[in-house]
Amino acid sequence: MPFDISQMPLWAVAAIFLGAAVIVWGAGSRLSSHVDAISKKLHIGPAFAGMLLLGGITSLPELATVATSSLAGNAPLAVNNLLGSAAVNVLLLAVADVVFGRGALTSVVAKPATLMQGVLGMMLLSIVCMTVMSGDYPVFGVGAGTIFVALGALLAIAISSRFERRSVWQPAEDAEGPDRQDDKEEEPDTRSLRHLILVTAGLGLLILLAGVALSQSADAIAAKTGISSGMIGFVLVAFATSLPELSSIIAAVREKRYELAVGDIFGTNLFNLMLLLMADALASGEPVLGSAGTFEALGALLALLMTGCFTVGLLERKNRAIWRMGYDAVAAVLLFCGGMVVMAKFAQ
């Protein structure tokens, strides 16, 4: 932005933050149907489309936040935004469970590729936590740990792509539920592939520009309110930059594109972890994970545990629910609330 947003009054900064959030929400809500249509025309599996296309596009606000925060010398905000988004994104699956409203969402996700994405994401989060606790070492101006995580994320995307095309196992037919999208005949989409790609690119650009406004306004809110930068990045900015995921997965669930919804969340987290390398490259000083502490390690562990709840749900495929959510979603919500209480003690 051409002016210093931190010099504006708090109400104006909050208005910019909310306005950018509305733009992100509106653009994200239209992404699901366009990505689904593109995946069908290109014959891409729904889980992989959710991970690569939807996950990549909905990671744009985090990309903007990482770039602006790191260049402004606030690398902790960038790191905490990425780790916070990993936890918040998984929390959004609980919201999708409520929208689904007929038991556990994981009971109708029948593609093993989503399970693979979740497990690979958990492994990468564990590497992040280990790097934070043991320290990172500079290599060519960036941390060796962030390089390893970025390469691991690329490998995870490649593995997930190949895995979806393999018939490794098939769930029982009666476990798929009556609402499986493949059982319904659909009218052919008359929109051209070029039109779909252009509209999707335009929505992505809107999300990216609004993400810059979200980052700068959230940083200004932190400075004006005295709230710790770590908690601002992990909670406020993470929730704001996760709005595209929320709107897109709600749209996907309503359209009965369940693998697309879960693939969006797991895929976004893979892309977000890859962005740690960007934060390292743009920030000055020591490696960003090397300067991180207990707060960031707990954030990575929280995201890992919450992802584990849903991977267990994908394996178990039980339809039991409480509070309109599956038991896996309830466990993830409770973990998030408890994690916030513990992490608040270590916020700086």
Q: What per-residue string of b and e applies to 174-203 under the rule 16 or more CB within 10 Å gives b?
A: eebbeeebeeeeeeeeeeeeeebeebbeeb
- Supply 198's token pair: 């252009």
Residue showing tokens 């790097």: 131
Q: Phi, psi at residue 179, to the nearest 5°? A: -105, 15
**Spatial distance between the Cα atoms of 303 and 292, rounded to a whole number of angstroms:** 16
Contacts of 92 (CB under 8 A, 6+ apart): 242, 245, 246, 249, 265
Round the CA-based radius of gyration of the chain to a whole number and report it. 19
CATH label, 9-169+192-344, candidates 3.30.70.270, 3.20.20.370, 3.40.50.1370, 1.20.1420.30: 1.20.1420.30
Tens-place pLDDT, residues 70-127: 887 878 878 888 998 899 999 999 999 998 888 888 888 877 888 888 999 999 999 9
Half-sphere exposure of 76 (CA within 13 A, CB side): 16
Return the closest-CA partner of residue 332 out of 300, 297, 307. Answer: 307
Q: What is the dihedral of CA 241, 245, 247, 251, to 10 degrees?
A: 170
Tens-place pLDDT, residues 257-271: 888 888 888 988 998
**Spatial distance between the Cα atoms of 86 and 144, rounded to a whole number of angstroms:** 21
Q: Indicate the DSSP class of residue 291.
A: S
Q: How confident is the model at residue 217 (pLDDT cuts 50, 70, 90)?
A: confident
Helix (H) or strand (E) holding 231: helix 229-231
Half-sphere exposure of 217 (CA within 13 A, CB side): 24
pLDDT, residue 142, reads 92
CB atoms within 10 A of CB 260: 33
**Spatial distance between the Cα atoms of 263 and 53, rounded to a whole number of angstroms:** 10
Could you give the 3-state DSSP secondary structure of residue 142?
A: strand
Domain ranges of the chain: 9-169+192-344
Q: How confident is the model at residue 228 (pLDDT cuts 50, 70, 90)?
A: low
Return the closest-CA partner of residue 232 out of 244, 245, 241, 219. Answer: 219
Tens-place pLDDT, residues 115-168: 888 999 999 999 999 999 999 999 988 999 999 999 999 999 888 877 766 666
CB atoms within 10 A of CB 113: 27
Contacts of 170 (CB under 8 A, 6+ apart): none
Please state, rounded to an integer, the average pLDDT across all residues of the chain: 83
Would you say residue 180 has pLDDT above 50?
no
Would you say residue 235 has pLDDT above 90?
no
Residue showing tokens 């509209």: 199
What pTM did the predictor assign? 0.84
Could you give the 3-state DSSP secondary structure of residue 256?
A: coil
